[in-house]
């Protein structure tokens, strides 16, 4: 069946191709009893950000959000070992990937510099003058000695 691709739906308009994701299963430390020594339950998910069909701005924000989890080759590493089963860890890793991509989709709001209003400026200066007067009056008077 050529042409069938598994997609991970992010939003209505964006989906990640399953071919950009590579999963490796390794032995996990932690809970699991004797099972932990026999079964590879931890998941190391690798997502190729460079090859993924993402808009350029989303790709840049994803790389910035990933920080040290991204390699020089543009591969995002997500490690999941909090559950006892491979399936649960796999699902948790994919959910973390989806959450990270959704976070990268949000465009940061552009800050437009504003000026303080005349009333606010006047109130600030009045407060400064009042404080200055209070401090000046705390000093010694000249005729006390």
pLDDT for 119 beyond 90: yes
Predicted pLDDT of residue 33: 61
> Which long-range contacts link 92-95 to residues 24+ away (Cβ below 8 Å)?
92/43, 93/23, 93/43, 93/45, 94/8, 94/21, 94/45
Spatial contact of 52 and 5, defined as CB atoms under 8 Å apart: no
pLDDT for 1 beyond 50: no
Spatial contact of 45 and 20, defined as CB atoms under 8 Å apart: no
pLDDT for 62 beyond 70: yes
Predicted pLDDT of residue 143: 62
| Chain mean pLDDT for the chain | 81
Predicted pLDDT of residue 132: 94
Mind listing the pLDDT tens digit for each residue in 30-55? 666 666 666 777 888 888 888 778 88
DSSP state of 11: S
Q: How confident is the model at residue 88 (pLDDT cuts 50, 70, 90)?
A: confident
Structure tokens at 40: 């590879």
Which one is predicted more confidently, 126 or 6? 126
Which one is predicted more confidently, 32 or 129? 129
Alpha helices in 71-114 (DSSP H): 86-105
Radius of gyration of the chain (CA): 29
Instruction: Give the whole-angstrom CA distance, residue 37 versus residue 39.
Output: 6
Residue ranges and CATH numbers for the domains of the chain are 7-105 (3.30.160.20)
């Amino acid at each position: 069946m050529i042409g069938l691709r598994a997609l991970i739906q992010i939003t209505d308009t964006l989906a990640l191709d399953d071919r950009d994701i590579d999963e490796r299963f390794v032995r996990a430390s932690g809970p699991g009893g004797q099972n932990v020594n026999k079964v590879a339950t931890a998941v190391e998910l690798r997502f190729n950000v460079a090859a993924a069909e993402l808009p350029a701005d989303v790709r840049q924000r994803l790389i910035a959000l990933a920080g040290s989890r991204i390699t020089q080759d543009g591969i995002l590493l997500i490690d999941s070992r909090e559950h006892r089963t491979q399936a649960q860890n796999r699902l948790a890793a994919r959910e973390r990937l989806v959450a990270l991509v959704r976070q990268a989709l949000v465009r940061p709001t552009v800050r437009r510099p504003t000026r303080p209003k005349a009333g606010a400026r006047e109130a600030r200066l009045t407060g400064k003058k009042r404080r200055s007067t209070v401090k000046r009056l705390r000093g010694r008077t000249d005729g006390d000695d």
